[in-house]
């Protein structure tokens, strides 16, 4: 079966791949916020410093993996965020305490001694005297909430006129993000509604689309997680009165850092579909294969300018020609810490849409989103 708007998804993927390549080539432009580890052998590494002890350094690479180095494998370490240094004995050169807060610092190891330079002070600590260097505990909240509401609109005139109005609410909760076992859990709820009016050749058609997604994740090991999900969907454009899907599976953050992330999920689902008109209700087993990639392209007033794309494919196991495909791309432009504007394109295809409904739909819109400033 021919997919009429497949080229649009290909264009989205090509643009995003180009953006990722451009960002990788220019990763040093925001170097003031990226930590740097220079190994004794090899090229320098960019990413986020996690922690250090008397024996090792744990460093999260900008491209995703977390690596561990012993001190004798490190030539220099540059950290650009707040940390706390703890030693077994008082840091006599700069403090009578065994603990010292550092806003940023550079460490050069040499023969069992750590030479440390931070703004306004230079000192050294014996490697055997070091207990730990790590971000403050308050920087890693046990539970974090995120709530946002958004609106979207689109207007196209001349011979073809389309008006789109939409609204969306997102609620997320994540606990123990710093842990790597089942205690790290995350819950998300997304509800969206869109109403569109299309006029062409004197004919006016009004469509509506509603969808909701609930997902709970329990992390098993580092970025690997198991999940349960429930999805509801209604779209008068493709003749779907109500689609329900319930199930669960496994997923993994292929990489996730301050610059970019890639989330991969595979679920087994029970799916029930109810159509407008005389088309019979069907229910069947299926799957959901999803990916979502996000990259920070630049910063605007110290806030991230982000590009995100996602693709979801739902094959049916026991129902002929009942597969689905949905793709989306969003450019989010920060205005303030709570407000951002967005440009979004979505494209969907329902293989078993009843006639005369459209199997394919697409929509472009601009939006405005407000994220509530919740306490950390």
Q: Are 164 and 255 contained in the same domain?
A: yes
Residues 6+ apart with CB under 8 A from 254: 64, 223, 262, 263, 264
Q: Does residue 27 sit within a domain?
A: no
Q: Does residue 1 sit within a domain?
A: no
Place of tokens 């610059």: 259
Closest CA to 123 of 113, 112, 133, 136: 113
List the CATH number of the domain containing 230. Answer: 2.40.160.40
Q: Are 46 and 159 contained in the same domain?
A: no
Total count of domains within the chain: 2
Q: Are 222 and 318 contained in the same domain?
A: yes
Question: How far is it, in rounded angstroms, from Cα 57 to Cα 264?
Answer: 28
Q: What kind and span of H or E run contains 366?
A: strand 360-371
Q: Does residue 28 sit within a domain?
A: no
Q: Model confidence at 4, in pLDDT bands (50, 70, 90)?
A: very low
Q: What is the pLDDT of residues 302-314, one digit of tens each?
A: 889 999 999 999 9
Q: For the stretch 145-170, what's the b/e string if a residue is b when 16 or more beta carbons lie within 10 angstroms of its beta carbon?
A: eeebebebebeeeeeeebebebebeb
Residues 6+ apart with CB under 8 A from 42: none
Question: For residue 347, with 0-12 CB atoms within 10 Å meaning exposed, 13-18 middle and 19 or more buried, which class applies?
Answer: buried
Question: How far is it, in rounded angstroms, from Cα 105 to Cα 149?
Answer: 39
Q: Are 213 and 354 contained in the same domain?
A: yes
Q: Provide the pLDDT for residue 32.
A: 43
Q: Are 89 and 199 contained in the same domain?
A: no
CA-based torsion, 29, 31, 33, 34: positive or negative: positive
| Strands in 103-235 per DSSP E | 105-110, 113-118, 121-126, 130-134, 143-156, 160-175, 185-200, 203-221, 224-235
Q: Are 10 and 126 contained in the same domain?
A: no
Which of 103-117, 133-147, 205-219, 307-321 is least confident?
133-147
Q: Are 116 and 148 contained in the same domain?
A: no
Q: Are 215 and 320 contained in the same domain?
A: yes
Q: Are 191 and 307 contained in the same domain?
A: yes
Q: What is the pLDDT of residues 235-292, one digit of tens each?
A: 988 899 999 999 999 999 998 888 899 999 999 999 999 999 888 899 999 999 999 9
Domain that holds residue 63: 34-80+82-134
Q: Choose one of 97, 117, 134: the last residue of a domain.
A: 134
Q: What is the pLDDT of residues 354-364, one digit of tens each?
A: 888 889 888 88
Q: Are 129 and 277 contained in the same domain?
A: no
- Contact between residue 47 and residue 37 where contact means Cβ atoms under 8 Å apart: yes
């Amino acid at each position: 079966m021919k997919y009429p708007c497949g080229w649009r998804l290909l264009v989205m993927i090509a643009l995003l791949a180009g953006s990722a390549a451009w960002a990788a080539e220019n990763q040093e432009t925001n170097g003031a916020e990226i930590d740097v580890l220079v190994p004794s052998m090899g090229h320098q590494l960019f990413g986020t410093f996690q922690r250090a002890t008397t024996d090792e350094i744990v460093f999260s690479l900008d491209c995703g993996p977390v690596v561990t180095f012993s001190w004798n494998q490190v030539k220099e370490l540059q950290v650009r965020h707040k940390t706390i240094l703890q030693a077994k004995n008082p840091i006599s050169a700069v403090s009578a305490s065994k603990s010292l807060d550092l806003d940023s610092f550079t460490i050069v190891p040499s023969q069992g001694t750590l030479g440390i330079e931070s703004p306004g002070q230079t000192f050294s600590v014996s490697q055997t005297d070091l207990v730990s260097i790590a971000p403050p505990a308050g920087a890693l909240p046990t539970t974090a909430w995120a709530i946002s509401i958004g609106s979207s609109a689109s207007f196209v005139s001349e011979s073809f006129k389309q008006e789109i109005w939409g609204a969306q609410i997102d609620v997320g909760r994540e606990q123990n993000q710093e842990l790597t076992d089942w205690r790290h859990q995350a819950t998300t709820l997304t509800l969206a509604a869109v109403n569109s009016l299309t006029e062409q050749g004197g004919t006016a058609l009004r469509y509506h689309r509603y969808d909701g997604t609930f997902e709970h994740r329990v992390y098993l090991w580092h970025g690997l997680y198991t999940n349960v999900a429930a999805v509801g969907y209604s779209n008068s454009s493709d003749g779907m009165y109500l689609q329900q899907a319930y199930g669960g599976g496994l997923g993994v953050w292929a990489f996730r850092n301050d610059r970019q992330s890639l989330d991969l999920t595979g679920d087994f689902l029970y799916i029930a579909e109810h159509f407008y008109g005389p088309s019979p209700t069907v229910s069947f087993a299926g799957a959901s294969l999803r990916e979502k990639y996000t990259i920070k392209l630049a910063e605007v007033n110290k806030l991230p300018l982000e590009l995100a794309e996602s693709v979801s494919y739902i094959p049916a196991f026991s129902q002929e020609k009942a597969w689905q495909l949905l793709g989306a791309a969003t450019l989010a432009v920060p205005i303030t810490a709570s407000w951002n504007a967005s440009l979004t394109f979505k494209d969907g295809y329902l293989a078993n849409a009843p006639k005369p409904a459209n199997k394919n739909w697409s929509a472009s819109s601009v939006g405005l989103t407000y994220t509530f400033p919740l306490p950390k």
